[in-house]
Chains A and B, each alone.
Chain A
Amino acid sequence: MNKLISWYKRISFFKKQLLVATLVTSITLSLASLMLYGKFYTDYKAGLMSGLSAKEALVSETSRSALLFGDEEAAQAILNSLSAFPATRYAVLLDNAFTPVAQFSRTDIRVDIDYQSLQPGNHFLEQELYVFNPVMMDGEQIGYLIISADTRSLAEQRNQYIWILLLVFVLSLVVSFFLHWRLQYFIAAPMNKLVELVGYVARNRRYNKRLGNTGSDELGTLVTGVNSMLDTIEEHEKQLHAHSERLESLVALRTEQLFNRANYDALTQLPNRHLLVDRLNHGIDNAVRENSQMALMFLDLDRFKVINDTLGHSVGDELLVQVAQKLSAVVRKADSVCRWGGDEFVILLEHLHSKDDIVPLAEQILFSLSEPIEISGNQLHVSTSIGIARFPEDGKDSAALLEHADISMYRAKEQGPSQYCFFEANMLDGSVQRLSLEHKLRLALENKSFHLVYQPQVCADTGRVCGIEALIRWQDEELGLLNPVQFLPVAEDVGLMHSLSLWVLEEACTQNASWQAQGGQKARVAVNLPASFIMHPNAVNQITDILDKTGLAPKYLEIEITENTFISNTDHAIKVLEQLRAMKINIAVDDFGTGYSSMSYLPDLPIGTLKIDGSFVRQLGDDEANDGIIQSIITLGKSLGLSLIAECVESKEQASKLRDMGCDMIQGYYYSKPLSAEKTQEFLSETKVA
């Protein structure tokens, strides 16, 4: 049954319809056949009975005279005439007393009915027919006649009917099936087209086909509906397609943007380090294949951090953009300029023949960047240090080339601004030293391995000590005594400068407070603070905290800053310095005269002292122009009510000349080299304090 249901579900709709129609037809035909059979059967039976009845009437009519006159021969002759009818089984003519007058019967047929108890009329008993009626003459009953007939012909006729009906049934069914099948073909043709269309749509996802009009019947309405639906879907599909195209183009755009973001520097639009490494690897492959050379230039802008810290990130960013443009303009088309990060750039030079190809380019870059750059009204002088590593001499892979170019760059930087340097194998030692230095620096800060030395500042007129500059020193077990110039740039690079400054500040204040507490002469201690410290949001609070913690009066603290402190965000710097000034902390501008900035803002600065740079002092007396600058600085400072101090004074002549020029304070080896805390205390006790 389940298989039948499953089969029924599998076959097509048209076959189902055909099947149902055939089934209905066969049921109808069966019913009609049954009814016809019943009708035929009963009619034939009635016909048989009526035939027999007619025979009985005829025999009755013809035999009555014989019955009346007791002529048995005549009666027998009449009954014998029934032998012509094969169905007749027997016939008996009886008088009124049921005495047989004549009798006819077939061989082996016996009178099988009790006619005395039989009611007159027609009887159908046990598949035999009986007609039993009185014989009448002029309204008088003169006897009885009974005739019995078999129903063999009925059975034969019934079988014949069955065969005929079966034949009619089968023929009708075949004709009906054929007609249904043909009719369905006409109905199914448009339906099949519809199904075909739906299949086409489902398979190809295309909605361009339509069906022709098939009329105004339900099928026509369906076709019209499907066509209309396809119109809508096609329109919708077009809109979707357009939308999809827009989305795809947007995705392509976003992908390109993502690619650019992943591979290009957002600020300068130069390839970033990721793309550079790709190109570098590719370039190495090419160079190996073509047996050519290539080189990697690692550039780091000198003093960029100062500019960034002082003039702000926007200026720094603009500077980077202009530097990127300059670099791109200088290099060949085949070369790649990339931003490595921060103020570092990498230039990849391919298809080189010798080292000599590199030098002109390096010099051109240095020259190009040495020209001042104007940003937001500021004339900025930047320079760069270039480290150069070559393939295949200096490294076989990208990592080695980059590392070696980086090391070379540091070596160039050590040689001063605007220098380039080719990698040499022995530089690896220096590089290791720098790494070691960074590590030791961190450890030193944690372990407080630094110490301060103090260089007295003596009043030019009186010879008394008027101040002490605290200078940081680092005594390493392996490296020995290190100067600030050796480790402060490293501290700045690795971000330890602020912590180091705080330590120096606290140590100097503690020491001065200690001297004062021990009854020593009270002198002002000067601490150098970088611009980054002053610009720190918590600078004032941190200084206040240290003064509170050490108990040193603010007036015994002097903070030395450089001109660069004012270059960027002048307003904020002034605000910080004003707060410090208000606390009675003196502000001195260190290395005055070496900066690039304008002096026009000097009157507005909350400073108390100008410190003439040692480079001027060292040339004092050798160069009139130099002396003029010193005199100008002193005159300027005086005119602004500032005190002047000269550093790096090593001779009596220098001291005298400066004093004659009007300089207020002298610092240098002439009076004292930087001293330890103990020696300083001794110096202070020996020398009067101003």
Chain B
Amino acid sequence: MNPMRTFISLALVLSLMTSLSVQAELSRTDKLKAAYLFNFTKFLQWPDAEGRFAKAEIALCLDGNPEFFDFMQELVKGRKVGVKSLPVKIKPYQERVTCDVAFLVEEYPSLKQSDTPVLLVSDMSNSSVEPSIAFYVIDHKLRFEIDFDAVSDLNLTISSELLKLSRRKSRE
């Protein structure tokens, strides 16, 4: 690994986590994933709804590792994203929990929590899930792949900036 690139990546992560206190147990990749997850919310736009259906927050659901959960919670604390400046709420991925984005590390069957579509994010290696965005590592760098059709099915608007950085997945 290019030492310079390593240094840049670390610096990027560290810059995002200047205020994080929980960090000891997480790997650098997890931390990057946590940062990517948060950053994804900045480039996603859910369809407009009115009245009580209007979105008041972006729910990011997580499973598995409680350190990761805590790390995420620390990461999003006090921060707002998107055009509508919505707060990001970290939730456990459970039944009846409404999620906008769900990051699943374990192999779960597809959950049906609500009518609202959920953007699934997972590692490429997790074959039990058909994520819309999948992380993968190439040349020691964390990258992601976007299933454009899945995202389109979710009726989400995804920023071209995000698409520009991702690898496009083909269903075939």
Bound together, the chains give a CA A74 to CA B42 distance in angstroms of 18
Q: Is the CB of A99 within 8 A of B42?
A: no
User: Is the CB of A138 closer than 8 A to any CB of chain B?
Assistant: yes
- Would A65 and B80 be within 8 Å (CB), given that A96-B15, A97-B11 are in contact? no
Q: Is the CB of B8 within 8 A of A70?
A: yes
Q: Could you say which residues of chain A place their CB within 8 Å of the CB of B82?
A: 138
User: Is the CB of A69 closer than 8 A to any CB of chain B?
Assistant: yes
Query: What are the 7 closest A-B residue pairs judged by CB atoms, nearest first?
Result: A65-B161, A70-B12, A68-B39, A96-B15, A71-B165, A99-B11, A138-B81
Against A, the Cβ 8 Å flags (1 = close, 0 = not) of B4-26 are 01011101111100000000000
User: Is the CB of B85 closer than 8 A to any CB of chain A?
Assistant: yes
> What is the minimal beta-carbon distance from B35 to any residue of chain A, in angstroms?
8
Q: Could you say which residues of chain A place their CB within 8 Å of the CB of B12?
A: 67, 70, 95, 101
Q: Is the CB of B11 within 8 A of A65?
A: no
> What is the minimal beta-carbon distance from A478 to any residue of chain B, in angstroms?
170
Contact of B165 among A65, A97, A138 (CB under 8 A): A65
Q: Is the CB of B79 within 8 A of A69?
A: no
Q: Could you say which residues of chain A place their CB within 8 Å of the CB of B164?
A: 65, 74
User: Is the CB of A139 closer than 8 A to any CB of chain B?
Assistant: yes
Q: Could you say which residues of chain A place their CB within 8 Å of the CB of B14?
A: 97
A-B contact pairs, 15 of them (CB 8 A): A62-B161, A67-B12, A68-B39, A68-B42, A69-B36, A69-B165, A95-B11, A97-B14, A97-B15, A99-B8, A101-B12, A137-B42, A138-B79, A140-B79, A142-B15
Q: Could you say which residues of chain B place their CB within 8 Å of the CB of A69?
A: 36, 39, 165
Q: Could you say which residues of chain B place their CB within 8 Å of the CB of A68?
A: 39, 42
User: Is the CB of B162 closer than 8 A to any CB of chain A?
Assistant: yes
Q: Which residue of B lies closest to A143 (CB)?
A: B15
Bound together, the chains give a CA A189 to CA B5 distance in angstroms of 88
User: Is the CB of B43 closer than 8 A to any CB of chain A?
Assistant: yes
> What is the minimal beta-carbon distance from A249 to any residue of chain B, in angstroms?
121
Q: Could you say which residues of chain A place their CB within 8 Å of the CB of B79?
A: 138, 140
> What is the minimal beta-carbon distance from B113 to any residue of chain A, in angstroms?
27
Q: Which residue of A lies closest to B43 (CB)?
A: A65
Q: Which residue of A lies closest to B9 (CB)?
A: A70
User: Is the CB of B159 closer than 8 A to any CB of chain A?
Assistant: yes
Query: Which residues of A from 45 to 70 have beta carbons under 8 Å from B?
Result: 62, 64-70
> What is the minimal beta-carbon distance from B7 to any residue of chain A, in angstroms?
8
Q: Could you say which residues of chain A place their CB within 8 Å of the CB of B81?
A: 138
Q: Is the CB of A65 within 8 A of B8?
A: no
Contact of A66 among B15, B36, B43, B165 (CB under 8 A): B165
Q: Could you say which residues of chain A place their CB within 8 Å of the CB of B43?
A: 65
Against A, the Cβ 8 Å flags (1 = close, 0 = not) of B31-42 are 010001001001
- Give the number of chain B interface residues (Cβ < 8 Å): 25
Against B, the Cβ 8 Å flags (1 = close, 0 = not) of A135-177 are 0011110100000000000000000000000000000000000
User: Is the CB of A72 closer than 8 A to any CB of chain B?
Assistant: yes
> What is the minimal beta-carbon distance from B110 to any residue of chain A, in angstroms?
27
- Would A72 and B80 be within 8 Å (CB), given that A65-B165, A96-B15, A138-B42 are in contact? no
Against A, the Cβ 8 Å flags (1 = close, 0 = not) of B52-88 are 0000000000000000000000000001111001000
Bound together, the chains give a CA A71 to CA B138 distance in angstroms of 12
Q: Which interface class (under 10, 10 to 19, 20 to 34, 35 or more) fits A?
A: 20 to 34
Q: Is the CB of A95 within 8 A of B15?
A: yes
- Residues of A with Cβ closer than 8 Å to B? 62, 64-72, 74, 95-97, 99, 101, 137-140, 142
Q: Which residue of A lies closest to B82 (CB)?
A: A138
Against A, the Cβ 8 Å flags (1 = close, 0 = not) of B132-161 are 000000000100000000000000000101
Q: Could you say which residues of chain A place their CB within 8 Å of the CB of B11?
A: 95, 97, 99
Interface centre among B5, B7, B42 (most CB of A within 10 A): B42
> What is the minimal beta-carbon distance from B142 to any residue of chain A, in angstroms?
8
Bound together, the chains give a CA A62 to CA B7 distance in angstroms of 23
Bound together, the chains give a CA A72 to CA B2 distance in angstroms of 13
Q: Which residue of A lies closest to B163 (CB)?
A: A65
Bound together, the chains give a CA A155 to CA B14 distance in angstroms of 45
Q: Which residue of B lies closest to A62 (CB)?
A: B161
> What is the minimal beta-carbon distance from A407 to any residue of chain B, in angstroms?
160
Q: Could you say which residues of chain B place their CB within 8 Å of the CB of A96?
A: 15
Bound together, the chains give a CA A65 to CA B166 distance in angstroms of 11
Q: Which residue of B lies closest to A63 (CB)?
A: B161
Contact of A65 among B7, B9, B85, B162 (CB under 8 A): B162
Q: Could you say which residues of chain A place their CB within 8 Å of the CB of B165?
A: 65-66, 69, 71, 74
Bound together, the chains give a CA A67 to CA B80 distance in angstroms of 18
Q: Could you say which residues of chain A place their CB within 8 Å of the CB of B85?
A: 138-139
Q: Could you say which residues of chain A place their CB within 8 Å of the CB of B8?
A: 70, 72, 95, 99, 101
Q: Is the CB of A138 within 8 A of B15?
A: no
Q: Could you say which residues of chain B place their CB within 8 Å of the CB of A67?
A: 12
Q: Which residue of B lies closest to A66 (CB)?
A: B165
Interface centre among A66, A69, A72, A95 (most CB of B within 10 A): A69
Bound together, the chains give a CA A144 to CA B25 distance in angstroms of 31
Bound together, the chains give a CA A72 to CA B162 distance in angstroms of 14
Interface centre among B8, B14, B80 (most CB of A within 10 A): B8
Bound together, the chains give a CA A64 to CA B43 distance in angstroms of 11
Q: Could you say which residues of chain A place their CB within 8 Å of the CB of B36?
A: 69
Q: A97-B14, A99-B8, A139-B80 given; name 7 further pairs at CB < 8 Å.
A: A65-B161, A70-B9, A70-B141, A71-B165, A95-B11, A95-B12, A138-B85
Q: Could you say which residues of chain B place their CB within 8 Å of the CB of A65?
A: 39, 43, 159, 161-162, 164-165
Bound together, the chains give a CA A74 to CA B159 distance in angstroms of 15
Q: Could you say which residues of chain B place their CB within 8 Å of the CB of A140?
A: 79
> What is the minimal beta-carbon distance from A295 to any residue of chain B, in angstroms?
156
Q: Could you say which residues of chain A place their CB within 8 Å of the CB of B9?
A: 70
> What is the minimal beta-carbon distance from A418 to any residue of chain B, in angstroms?
167
Q: Could you say which residues of chain A place their CB within 8 Å of the CB of B32?
A: 70
Bound together, the chains give a CA A64 to CA B162 distance in angstroms of 10
Bound together, the chains give a CA A97 to CA B7 distance in angstroms of 12
Bound together, the chains give a CA A513 to CA B161 distance in angstroms of 182
Bound together, the chains give a CA A66 to CA B9 distance in angstroms of 12
Query: Which residues of B from 70 to 113 have beta carbons under 8 Å from A?
Result: 79-82, 85
> What is the minimal beta-carbon distance from B23 to any residue of chain A, in angstroms?
18
> What is the minimal beta-carbon distance from A145 to any residue of chain B, in angstroms?
15
> What is the minimal beta-carbon distance from B2 to any residue of chain A, in angstroms?
10
Q: Could you say which residues of chain B place their CB within 8 Å of the CB of A97?
A: 11, 14-15
Bound together, the chains give a CA A99 to CA B43 distance in angstroms of 24
Q: Which residue of A lies closest to B36 (CB)?
A: A69
Bound together, the chains give a CA A11 to CA B79 distance in angstroms of 85
Interface centre among B9, B11, B32, B159 (most CB of A within 10 A): B11
Bound together, the chains give a CA A101 to CA B161 distance in angstroms of 17
> What is the minimal beta-carbon distance from B11 to any residue of chain A, in angstroms?
5
Q: Could you say which residues of chain A place their CB within 8 Å of the CB of B80?
A: 138-139
> What is the minimal beta-carbon distance from A354 to any residue of chain B, in angstroms?
161
Bound together, the chains give a CA A97 to CA B80 distance in angstroms of 22
Bound together, the chains give a CA A70 to CA B159 distance in angstroms of 17
> What is the minimal beta-carbon distance from A287 to any residue of chain B, in angstroms?
148
Bound together, the chains give a CA A70 to CA B80 distance in angstroms of 21
Q: Which residue of A lies closest to B41 (CB)?
A: A138
Bound together, the chains give a CA A138 to CA B80 distance in angstroms of 7
Bound together, the chains give a CA A142 to CA B11 distance in angstroms of 12
Bound together, the chains give a CA A370 to CA B9 distance in angstroms of 174
> What is the minimal beta-carbon distance from A340 to any residue of chain B, in angstroms?
150
> What is the minimal beta-carbon distance from A66 to any residue of chain B, in angstroms?
6
> What is the minimal beta-carbon distance from B79 to any residue of chain A, in angstroms?
7
Q: Could you say which residues of chain A place their CB within 8 Å of the CB of B15?
A: 95-97, 142
> What is the minimal beta-carbon distance from A393 to any residue of chain B, in angstroms?
159
